[in-house]
Amino acid sequence: MAMSINTNAGAMIGLQSLNKINRMLGTTQLRITTGLRINGPKDDAATFAIAQNMRSAMAGTTAVTTNLALGKSMVSVAIDAGKAVAELLTELKAKSVQASQEGLDADSYTALNADFTSLRDQIDSVISSAEFGGKNLIKSGATSHVVLSTMDGSTITVSAQQIQPVNLGVDAIDVATAANASAASIVIDAAINTVSSSLAAFGSAARRIDIQMDFTSQLKDILKHGVANLVEADLAEESANLQAHQIRQQLGVQALAIANAGPQSFLQLFA
């Protein structure tokens, strides 16, 4: 090939090679900095699109998990309040049995009835405070709560269980006399059965929510692992690539310097 001072083919080849090495080095540095092998659609359009869809699904499962957690808390409050009501009814049952004893003096009936009324009123206090997120599942007039359980719109319905004294029929009973106490005992037995059934219904709903929460959590982990497999960089490999590219860059700079020095040899022809 003829020698020319206008065109330095060696320098052009060296510059192209150095530019390529610099691009590869920049890509490797970006991967190490972000921890991602695919940082945008230009890196791998198809894989990036798949990863974005999986990220969207992850966001959906996160929202579902939040809704399930709120529903679980709401049911837990209702269950705890229901258990407190059941305990109070048990105490009312004991008072009614005690007051059904014939022959007690008036003071005894008055004292028993005062305790009985206080316990009965406490049921209302417990139920009034059994609210979570503005929703009370056990008060009079309560409505069912629907919990979003999947991204496709499936739901779990938690049925309301109205267990205030007025709903249980214990709001007007007393133990002021032995006859009243005997009648109250029957009403309380029915109320205890009603509350037990209500607690069973809440327990079933809570179990469904727990199962769905576990599944949703596992699904989210699977999606997260899938995205990681698609887009995350192998840092050990990228570290090795970084060192290799840096060495190649240094060699490329030296090769370009040598190619640029080539035209200097023409001066010897005129010496």
Residue-wise burial string across 180-203, b where 16 or more C-beta atoms lie within 10 A, e elsewhere: bbebbbebbeebbebbeebbebbe
With pLDDT > 70 as the criterion, what percentage of the chain qualifies?
A: 93
Tell me if residue 237 falls in helix, strand or coil: helix
**CA 121-123-125 angle, 5° bins:** 80
**pLDDT, mean of residues 96-115:** 90
Handedness of CA 52, 56, 62, 65 (dihedral sign): negative
Tell me if residue 155 falls in helix, strand or coil: strand
DSSP one-letter string for 55-79: HHHHHHHHHHHHHHHHHHHHHHHHH
**pLDDT tens, residue by residue, 153-184:** 999 999 999 999 999 999 999 999 999 999 99
Instruction: Return the CA Rg of the chain.
Output: 39
Q: 15-24, 57-66, 201-210, 218-227 — which is least confidently predicted?
A: 15-24
Nearest CA to 74 out of 146, 124, 141, 126 is that of 146
- 103 pLDDT tier (thresholds 50, 70, 90): confident
Residue 183 pLDDT: 94
Residue 267 pLDDT: 62
**Tokens 């022809």 identify what position?**
269
CA distance 37 to 238: 9
Tell me if residue 43 falls in helix, strand or coil: coil
Residue 145 per-residue DSSP state: E
